[in-house]
Amino acid sequence: MHRFGACFVPDQPAAQDDEGPEMSRSARKFSLAAVASALRQFLARRDGSMMPMMVLLTIPLVAAVGFSVDYTSAVTTRSDMQNALDAAIISITTLPTTTSLSDRQTALQQAYVANSGQGTATLTGVNVDAAGTATFTAKASYLMPTDFMQVARIDTVPVGVGSSVRKTPALVQTTFRVTKVSGYWAKTMILWGTKFGDTTAQKLMTITYAYNGYGDPKGYGTTTVNTVNGSTSTTVQKQACTTGTLKSLQKSVPAGTVIQTDQYGTTYYCVDTFYPANGAGAVIDVSQMDQLYLEMDVPSGNPKVLKSNDPTTSNRLFIGTSPTNLTEVATGQKVDIFTAVPCGQAGYQGWEDGGSSVPEAYTDADFFYTVQGKCDYNQRPSETVLTQ
C-alpha cells in the first residue's frame, strides 16, 4: 500500500477460465460466431464434404415419393379390378339355371380376365329362390408387386375387391289366345324375338286373319294362330266366326257357344278350336330372348306395317287389365313386351289395323287377344342390379 499521491485500489480477482462451468457473455458470443462461420465454410466447400448430408436428406424424400407412386398404382389397380369383377359377375347371371357352380366359376374367371382384371376372381355365393329372384356374390384378390416400397422390404401389396348382384324375376314364357278379330282387311300379327348374343330377330308366333265376305258392317272371318320354331309352323288355335240372322244362327250354333250382337247390329258367333283340344293357345318360350316386339302386317292398310317398338306406329296398340279397360299407347312411345305382359295373370291387348285414325276408343280396334306371362329366373342382363 502506498501512502502518498495514490488511492487505494483493491486487488482484482483473477479472470475465470473459458472452460469453466460458466461462460461470459462475450465468450458465448464469440463461440456462436465461430460455429456460424465454420458452418458457412462447410456449406461453401466444393470438395464433396456435402455428399453424406445430401444422401441422408434424399433417402426419406425418395422413399416418400416412391411410396406415393406405389400407393397410386394400387388405387388404380383396385379400380380396374372392381370394374372387371362387376362385368364378370353380371355376365354369369345370363347363364341357364342348370349351369353348375364350377362352370359358373370358370366363366367368372374368364370374364374377369377378359375385362383386364388382375389376380383371381372367386364366386362366393349363388342363390335362386322359389320366386326366381337370384343373388350372386364374388371377390377378387391380387398381390400387386411394388416398385419403390421394396426399399422397406415390402415386395407386394394385397389388393382385394368384392361384388354382388341381385336379379329379379322376369318374363320367361308368354301365352297368346285370340278372343276376337274382325275387319274386311286381311292381316297378320307376328311375335319377333332376338336371342342373347344374336342380332337377327326370329319369328316366334303368327296370327293370321282372313275375312269371310259375309258383307256385315264390321266384317268377320277366320283367324289361325301358329307357333313358329325355325322353319316349322304349328297351328295351336283356330277361331271361325259366322254371321246371320238370329234364327239361322240358332240352328247351327254349336253347344256351349254364345250368339252375340255387335254395336252395328250384326248377329254372330265364333267357335274356337285348340290343338291339342285342351290347349291354352300359343305358348311361347321367351327365356332365351333378349328382345321381343309385336308386328302387325296389313297389306291394305296405311301404314301397312305396325310395330310395338316403332314410336311412329305403336299408338295403334291398346293395352289393359280387362276386356273393357284398354288404353291406347301414347304417340311416340316404344312398348317393351317384357313389361307389357303381366306375370301370373291375364293381360288384354288389341290392335287398330289402320282403317281409322288415332287416337280412338279401344272399341274401334280390330284385333283382340289375351296374353299371360310366366316370370322366373331369366338370362336377361338388363334385370341384373349391382348391390355392392
Alpha-carbon distance of 16 to 18, in angstroms, equals 6
Mean pLDDT confidence for 153-160: 89
Mean pLDDT confidence for 334-347: 91
Q: Is 175's pLDDT higher than 60?
A: yes
Q: Is 8's pLDDT higher than 50?
A: no
Q: Is 317's pLDDT higher than 80?
A: yes
Q: Which residue has the higher pLDDT, 343 or 354?
A: 343
Mean pLDDT confidence for 303-329: 94
Grid coordinates belonging to 152: 422397406
Mean pLDDT confidence for 357-373: 90
Mean pLDDT confidence for 271-282: 95
Q: Is 369's pLDDT higher than 60?
A: yes
Is the distance from CB of 168 to CB of 265 less than 8 angstroms? no
Mean pLDDT confidence for 10-22: 45
CA 70 to chain centroid: 34
Q: What does the longest C-alpha to C-alpha distance in the chain come to?
A: 177
pLDDT band at 332 (very low <50, low <70, confident <90, very high): very high
Q: What is the pLDDT of residue 61?
A: 56
Grid coordinates belonging to 34: 465461430
Q: Is 18's pLDDT higher than 80?
A: no
Start-end of H helices in the chain: 25-44, 51-92, 101-114, 246-252, 337-340
Q: What are phi and psi of 101, to 5 degrees?
A: -65, -40
Q: What is the pLDDT of residue 41?
A: 63
Q: Three-state DSSP class for 172?
A: strand
Whether the ω angle into residue 303 lies within 30 degrees of 0, i.e. cis, is yes
Q: What is the pLDDT of residue 47?
A: 58
Q: What is the pLDDT of residue 103?
A: 95
Run of H or E residues at 16? none
Q: What is the pLDDT of residue 131?
A: 83
Mean pLDDT over each residue of the chain, to the nearest integer: 84
Q: Give the number of other CB atoms < 10 A from CB of residue 184.
A: 17
pTM of the predicted model as reported, rounded to 2 decimal places:
0.70
Alpha-carbon distance of 319 to 325, in angstroms, equals 8
Q: Could you list the beta-strand ranges (E) of the chain.
A: 120-128, 134-145, 156-167, 170-181, 187-195, 202-211, 221-229, 232-243, 260-261, 267-274, 282-285, 289-297, 305-307, 317-322, 325-328, 346-351, 367-376, 384-386
pLDDT band at 40 (very low <50, low <70, confident <90, very high): low
Mean pLDDT confidence for 184-195: 95
Q: Three-state DSSP class for 63?
A: helix
Alpha-carbon distance of 363 to 316, in angstroms, equals 12
Alpha-carbon distance of 326 to 225, in angstroms, equals 22
pLDDT band at 1 (very low <50, low <70, confident <90, very high): very low
Residue 347: closest CA among 213, 177, 207, 152: 177
Question: Where does residue 129 fall: left (phi above 0), alpha (psi -120 to 50 degrees), or beta otherwise?
Answer: beta
CA 291 to chain centroid: 14
Q: Is 316's pLDDT higher than 60?
A: yes
Angle at 251 between CA 245 and CA 253, to 5 degrees: 90
- Count the residues in the chain: 388
Q: Which residue has the higher pLDDT, 173 or 20?
A: 173
Per-domain residue ranges for the chain?
Answer: 54-167, 171-376
Mean pLDDT confidence for 216-223: 92
With the C-alpha atoms ordered 197, 202, 207, 213, is the resulting torsion angle positive or negative?
Answer: positive
Alpha-carbon distance of 138 to 190, in angstroms, equals 41
Residue 97: closest CA among 62, 121, 132, 70: 132
Q: Which residue has the higher pLDDT, 295 or 157?
A: 295
Q: Is 271's pLDDT higher than 70?
A: yes
pLDDT band at 72 (very low <50, low <70, confident <90, very high): confident
Alpha-carbon distance of 234 to 284, in angstroms, equals 12
Using alpha carbons, list the distances in angstroms from residue 273 to 9, 149, 156, 235, 278.
149, 79, 73, 10, 9
Q: What are phi and psi of 193, to 5 degrees?
A: -140, 145
